[in-house]
Amino acid sequence: MSGLTKQNIGSFLARQGILVAFALFMIGFTLANGRFLDPDNVMGVVRSSAILGVMALGVTFVVISGNLDLSVGSMMSFSTIVVLDLHDKIGPTLAIPAMFALTLCLGALIGFLVGYLKLNSLIVTLGMLSAIHGLTLTWSGGKNMDIADKEATWFGIFGQGEIIGIPVPILIFALLASVLGLILAKTPFGRKVYAVGGNGTAATFSGIRRARVVFSCYLMSSFCVATAGLIQASRSMGSQNTVGQGLELEVLAAVILGGASLLGGSGTIFKTVIGVLILGFIQNGLLLVGLQFYVQYVVTWVIIILAVWLDIAAKRGKLWSPIA
Amino acid sequence: MKPGTLSTFLKRGAIWGFIALELIFFTVAGEFLSVSDKAFMDVDNMLLLFKQSAPIGIIAMGMTIIMVNGNIDLSVGAIYAFCAVILLDSMTWPIFAGLGDAVIPVSWILALAVGTALGALNGLIVWKTGVDAFIVTLGSMLGYRGLVFMYNGEQPTSHLNWTLVDFAEQQFLGLHTATWFLLIVTAVIWFLMNRTVHGRNAYAIGDNRAAAVNAGIRVGPHMMVNFMIIGFLAALSAVVFYSESGSVNPNDGELYELWVITAVVLGGTKLTGGAGSIISTFGGVLAIQLLRKGLAHIGADTETVNLVIGLILIAVLFLDRQLNLKGKEELKV
């Protein structure tokens, strides 16, 4: 052990910088407002981050495999609207699996286009963003969707219920994060996702069926989106057509904040969860110190760029970019 | 005929063929489906089409350079909104109170300067930190939007200057003011990309960045200039549009980046950089606007427009890849 040289501190900061930043934020906000670390407040923040978080879990898979998914926002609107509409028509027991099936079909379509047809994921999911939005509007006829009898249904449990004092959205988020985290870190499939994102050609030559891996990543992403839609629908019992609009970029911001590289091959579920929590706590902390909600946009901007910059600066060993 | 000429011709002409197809389809379908008794290919309607293409079209020209470079700019919608706020708000500032109508050029210049500065900030970060432009502009898309909100809260910013409205609604040689701006911008950017060193460098950098660096092109400053151009054009687009409308909501310009990118990709510009043409982007802009107008003409709702544009985008990507496959060996396993 050579002790705490400047270089060691630097590389520690680069590797775990996001955790350090998270800790600093928590301390700062706690000092600024005593209510920040109140259990009720913490629970509230995690609960409201759960929807974004669940989506971010799926997108992490897609990003690690070297692709992008910009369609999660409008896909989430779709699943919310569909499950709310079907709830009154065929009852919640059938509506939920039906919604999951439909959302997975959309995910499969994207997975097919990106995985098997090898089309550029940015453009495909950009197109799907628009197309799914159109699909949602067609389904709802442009109207808001509401559950007629909000008192008589057990559907609210996913968004509003509590089990042993913990809100159900948090439980779903935690459960999904653990399962997906295990899949990514401990299974052969997880290894393949990293391999495909890190070096697709090498992965193909070592016998990994790249198309199938990419396809599965999009399926997982759409499964997460469907879950997020379920939580959203159950929480509000009614929804506009645009409920998920713009979420795709916030989700991506959380994933990037967690240190996943857009080039693929790096990132973990745990760090994504940290990224999601940072976004949630910053938002909450700024509100608690009395700032308007939009200040968080500016703060998020600065944090994203600093996070990514420090990450790549550590990798190349120089702070400033070498491009002339 | 040289080999590959046909596929090149197909690729170049595809967007215009598509526009022709749209025109024919909507004219014929309009005869049966349209609720209005005016023809689709009406002169007024077509003039309006150009005018309505202007806000997206002006930004799309800048986006073409950025994408030829191999970068992307997601913050244009936010820059657009911020410049619109500056334009309308600055006309009511007390220091300009004595200027009368001379405040108009001052506000214009101010808004354009702010747009250029915001673009320059993006470019500087991309240059100095080496962070990918996608991430930088994803961040500033949020950040600049935050600035718009911080400027005036959640209130709309409104100021109508009738001299300005008259100017914006004027028609010169039959074309609206906004159309003229679109045409001039297209011409200037075309010249920039095809007749200047800067344009050559843009293609060179997008095609092979390492080679461009070795050839002595200063990649960083070059990209920063391009970000300044797109910032300027986003501001110009706002200036042209809000001179007429006179009121801006803090949410205005949201999803503009997606429309602009759709138009540019439809025009055949590669995301990976190195290829793309201004004239085709112009075609892409017209094609999208034509689609929106045409579908409205035959009585389809907005949802159909979204659906159709999304599917067309994916179809274009697929066709483009099929056309490019020839002569290039795919990795076969």
Nearest CA of chain A to the CA of B64: how many Å?
15
Extents of the domains making up chain A:
38-316
CA distance to A4, A237, B156, B209, B212, per residue, from A324 (Å)? 33, 55, 42, 11, 11
Angstrom distance (rounded) from CA B118 to CA B141: 11
Higher pLDDT, B196 or A242: B196
Partners of residue A163 on adjacent β-strands: A166
Judge whether A288 is closer than 8 Å to chain B, CB to CB. no
Share of chain A above pLDDT 90, in %: 33
Among chain A residues, the shortest Cα distance to B135 is held by A305
Nearest CA of chain A to the CA of B22: how many Å?
19
Judge whether A114 is closer than 8 Å to chain B, CB to CB. no
Burial of B99 (0-12, 13-18, 19+ CB in 10 A): middle
B301 contact residues in A (CB cutoff 8 A): 137, 142
pLDDT in the model for residue B269: 85
Using CB atoms, which residue from A122, A130, A262 is nearest to B135? Answer: A262
Judge whether A123 is closer than 8 Å to chain B, CB to CB. yes
Partners of residue A239 on adjacent β-strands: A145
Per-residue pLDDT of A99-146, as tens digits, reads 999 999 999 999 999 999 888 888 888 889 889 988 998 888 878 888
For the domain bounded by A38-316, which CATH number is listed? 1.10.3470
Judge whether A126 is closer than 8 Å to chain B, CB to CB. yes
pLDDT in the model for residue B327: 46
Residue of B295, B303, B312 for testing the chain A interface, max A β-carbons within 10 Å: B303
Mean pLDDT for A257-274 is 86
Mean pLDDT for B26-33 is 75
Judge whether A137 is closer than 8 Å to chain B, CB to CB. yes
Give the helix, strand, coil percentages of chain B, each rounded to 5.
Answer: 75, 0, 20
Q: Give yes or no for residue B279 having a pLDDT over 70.
A: yes
Nearest CA of chain B to the CA of A130: how many Å?
5
Q: Which tokens sit at B294?
A: 């045409």
Residues B260 and B56 sit within 8 Å (Cβ to Cβ): yes
Nearest CA of chain A to the CA of B313: how many Å?
6
Q: Would you call A300 and B143 a contact, using CB atoms and an 8 Å cutoff?
A: yes
Mean pLDDT for A254-273 is 86
Angstrom distance (rounded) from CA B159 to CA B150: 18
Q: Give yes or no for residue A64 having a pLDDT over 90.
A: yes
Using CB atoms, which residue from B129, B147, B307 is nearest to A134? Answer: B307
Judge whether A24 is closer than 8 Å to chain B, CB to CB. no
**Of the options 3.40.50, 1.20.5, 1.10.10, 1.10.3470, the CATH number for the domain spanning B16-23+36-317:** 1.10.3470
Using CB atoms, which residue from B127, B130, B313 is nearest to A123? Answer: B313
Mean pLDDT for A137-157 is 80
pTM: 0.84
Residues near A133 by beta carbon (within 8 Å), at least 6 away in sequence: A74, A77, A241, A242, A245, B303, B306, B310
- Comparing A120-124, A227-231, B242-246, the range with the smallest average pLDDT is B242-246
Single-letter residue type at A88: D
pLDDT in the model for residue B61: 93
Q: Give yes or no for residue A1 having a pLDDT over 70.
A: no
Q: What is the largest CA-CA distance in chain A?
A: 68
Nearest CA of chain A to the CA of B310: how many Å?
4
B286 φ/ψ sector (left φ>0, alpha ψ -120 to 50, else beta): alpha
Residues near A231 by beta carbon (within 8 Å), at least 6 away in sequence: A50, A51, A54, A158, A159, A169, A172
Coil, helix or strand for B171? strand
pLDDT band at A93 (very low <50, low <70, confident <90, very high): confident
pLDDT band at A243 (very low <50, low <70, confident <90, very high): confident
Judge whether A314 is closer than 8 Å to chain B, CB to CB. no
pLDDT in the model for residue A144: 84
Q: Would you call B153 and A313 a contact, using CB atoms and an 8 Å cutoff?
A: no
Q: Give yes or no for residue A21 having a pLDDT over 80.
A: no
Mean pLDDT for B8-37 is 74
| The residue to which tokens 């210049």 are assigned | B109
Helix A247-257 with A295-316: angle, nearest 10 deg: 40
> In 3D, which of A241, A273, A222 has the Cα closest to residue A62?
A222
pLDDT in the model for residue B331: 42
Q: Would you call A249 and B74 a contact, using CB atoms and an 8 Å cutoff?
A: yes
Single-letter residue type at A281: F
Mean pLDDT for B123-138 is 88
- Comparing B167-171, B255-259, B304-308, the range with the smallest average pLDDT is B167-171
Residues near B233 by beta carbon (within 8 Å), at least 6 away in sequence: B58, B59, B61, B62, B115, B185
Contacts for B107-114: CB closer than 8 Å, 24+ residues apart: B108/B239, B110/B86, B111/B83, B111/B84, B111/B86, B111/B87, B111/B235, B111/B238, B111/B239, B112/B83, B112/B232, B112/B235, B112/B236, B112/B239, B114/B82, B114/B83, B114/B86, B114/B235
Nearest CA of chain A to the CA of B258: how many Å?
7
Q: Would you call B307 and A256 a contact, using CB atoms and an 8 Å cutoff?
A: no
Q: Would you call A126 and B262 a contact, using CB atoms and an 8 Å cutoff?
A: yes
Judge whether A1 is closer than 8 Å to chain B, CB to CB. no
Q: Would you call B303 and A129 a contact, using CB atoms and an 8 Å cutoff?
A: no
Mean pLDDT for B251-260 is 83
